[in-house]
Structure 1
Amino acid sequence: MSVDIYPCDDFDASMQLSNIEKAIENGANAIIIVPINDPCISKKIRQLNKDNIPVVFLTAYLNRIAPLSSIHCDYYRSGRIGARLLQLISGGNGHVMAFFPSSAMFGNNSRKQGFESYFTEASTTLSLTGVIELTNNPVKNLSLVREELTIHPEVDHIIFNGDSSIALSVLTELDRPVKAVFYDFSAETKAALKSGLIDAAILQAPKDQGYQSVNVLFQYFSSKKNTTEGNFNGKSDSAERMY
């Protein structure tokens, strides 16, 4: 089994649709995709299902679309885990600001909803100052994070899901201590955690998810080749680990 990769600009549904069509034209008989939450992508995947072309969702998913398998974490739960970590770190007192990726991805919305639900449903004295949506432009994001933390000096806790180098750069500039929870576990995040610059990291296992997406298709095609009826059972994997 071979794998061809078609890069796509962040949150560009037209480019993603074009990539799917190119892959099929080039002979792909299965698709692994980080689906953008856009009607044109949903429509295309429904058509792939009708054409019996298996689709595996990777690190994201679409509501009411049934792929062969979906490999992702429980985004809603990961949002609540992040909020709960801030509650534990803060001792229940402080002002929180959250920075989350674009809502163009369905999973990002679910994480945001899970995070916000903690502040409306749980008994907490933490104050949620704001939830900021990041762009797909690193330069703009750096200015955005710096500006928000400057105009809100009361914020003493943040949760960040994006390019870790951006938030780390701003944290080192601030003239006040800010406790921080990051999503995922880059080398920079690991170093910041060890040095005490940030307080916790939530690992959503993106590398493992990538491996499993290919493994799912390998098992699927192997079962079709080796048995007349096939015994493949697609499943949705999820993982969150805290450090």
Structure 2
Amino acid sequence: MEKIYTIKDIAELAGVSKGTVDRVLHKRGKVSQDALDRVNEVLDKIDYQPNLMARSLKKTQIYSICVLLPDSKNDPYWQSCIDGINEAKKEFKSFNVKVEIFLFDATSTVSFVETNKAVLAASPDAVLLVPLFHKEANEAIETYNSKGIITSIFNNQLKSSSIKSFVGQDLFQSGRIAARLLELLLQKGTIAIVHIDEDYENAIHMQEKEKGFRDYFDQSGKGKFDIKTFKVKHPQFKTTLKEYLEANPTIEGLFVTTSKAYQVAKIIAKNPEKKIALVGYDLLENNLEYLNNKTIDFLIHQNPKRQAYLGTTSLIEHFIFEKEISAEKLLPIDIINTENAKDYFL
């Protein structure tokens, strides 16, 4: 069996006291450079791994983590994120950490701002949030940082030195993949990028996907494709999109930048004589229905449950196990069609 080294063993091998080893392991108190070097040499030689579980059980402080994300009542995409957070809570329920979920209306910057105020009033040790609104999210993150609150984000990318970590996908690359899929389906023609419901100018995730999409065709499809952008909001969504397609009969492909491809699929399915290639995001029930009947050709799986789970557990493990928080965790970009969709529900 592999030997388990105690502090006493390490002290004897390094020729120092147990107290010196304890100070080195827990990074507290003063230690001479010579003693530090000798202890670290022994630790490297024996590949010492601290008993993080035992260390965490000695802690008495209860850490508080607030998770801020859109309400799934308005968009079912976010329910998977809530499930991921709850899975993390269940996994670490025996430890001194409290995870609380705060929900905001994804269509309202006012709701986002007010919910952040409620989070701030809770005085958490860390906040994990979805920075859906660029301007307001930056302001909230700066406020948290000024209070010494660790801030991590998931799902949407945001550049800020105050952010501890990001969990999600490379949205620019995601847009490029969508472009490649439509190129394979069409070879040439007119394609419309469809942004639904959100304020495009304040939605970095939409912008990044469009940038990636256009970048792909700028590099490889010049002269073959005409790329248009169409922004639409409720309640005029159905009528407006129908009118747009009628006014642009040369459109042969659509790229929906959010999980709402099913709303577009419902409209184009009513005109089966004209096949329009459609690529969207996420394994929502409504999207899968139109994927299976081949109105939607491909879905890009963003794995929201995994994003939220990893974002939450990284903060929990930082507090209870003293683990470093990775600055970035990029999840793979999965391409789903009728042939492999069932594999994601096994």
Normalised by the shorter chain, which TM-score bucket? 0.7 to 0.9
- Alpha-carbon separation, structure 2, partners of 1:72 and 1:153: 36
1:194 is matched with: 292
The alpha carbon displacement at 1:187 in A equals: 1.9
Q: How does 1:25-40 map to 2 (within 5 A)?
A: 25-40=121-136
1:130 is matched with: 228
Candidates 188, 192, 217, aligned match of 1:119: 217
Candidates 97, 119, 124, aligned match of 1:23: 119
Residue 33 of structure 1 aligns to which amino acid in structure 2? L
Coordinate RMSD, CA, aligned: 2.0
Say whether residues 1:242 and 2:321 are aligned partners: no
Provide the secondary structure at the position in 1 that maps to 2:131. Answer: coil
8 Å CA contact retained: 2:190, 2:228: no
Q: How does 1:193-212 map to 2 (within 5 A)?
A: 193-212=291-310
8 Å CA contact retained: 2:130, 2:153: yes
8 Å CA contact retained: 1:97, 1:158: yes
8 Å CA contact retained: 1:87, 1:124: no
Question: Rg larger in 1 or in 2?
Answer: 2
Residue 236 of structure 1 aligns to which amino acid in structure 2? E
Give the TM-score of the pair, scaled to structure 2: 0.62
Deviation per CA, 1:43-69: give whole Å up to 9, x if none.
Answer: 331231232211111211322343121
| More moved, 232-241 vs 32-41 | 32-41
Residue 141 of structure 2 aligns to which amino acid in structure 1? I
2:313 is matched with: 215
- Alpha-carbon separation, structure 1, partners of 2:105 and 2:299: 26
- Alpha-carbon separation, structure 1, partners of 2:244 and 2:326: 43
1:227 is matched with: none
The alpha carbon displacement at 1:18 in A equals: 2.0
Deviation per CA, 1:114-155: give whole Å up to 9, x if none.
Answer: 1111222223554224111233x3x33223322221211111
The alpha carbon displacement at 1:40 in A equals: 4.1
Unaligned runs of 5+ in 2: 1-96, 337-346
Deviation per CA, 1:197-222: give whole Å up to 9, x if none.
Answer: 22111111112111112111111111
Provide the secondary structure at the position in 2 that maps to 1:10. Answer: coil
8 Å CA contact retained: 1:42, 1:65: no
Candidates 157, 160, 164, aligned match of 2:261: 164
The alpha carbon displacement at 1:231 in A equals: 3.5
2:191 is matched with: 96
Unaligned runs of 5+ in 1: 224-229
2:152 is matched with: 56
8 Å CA contact retained: 1:100, 1:108: yes
- Alpha-carbon separation, structure 2, partners of 1:134 and 1:118: 24
Say whether residues 1:173 and 2:266 are aligned partners: no
- Structure 2 CA distance for partners of 1:195 and 1:38, relative to 1, 3 Å: closer
Provide the secondary structure at the position in 1 that maps to 2:299. Answer: strand
1:108 is matched with: 206
Residue 238 of structure 1 aligns to which amino acid in structure 2? L
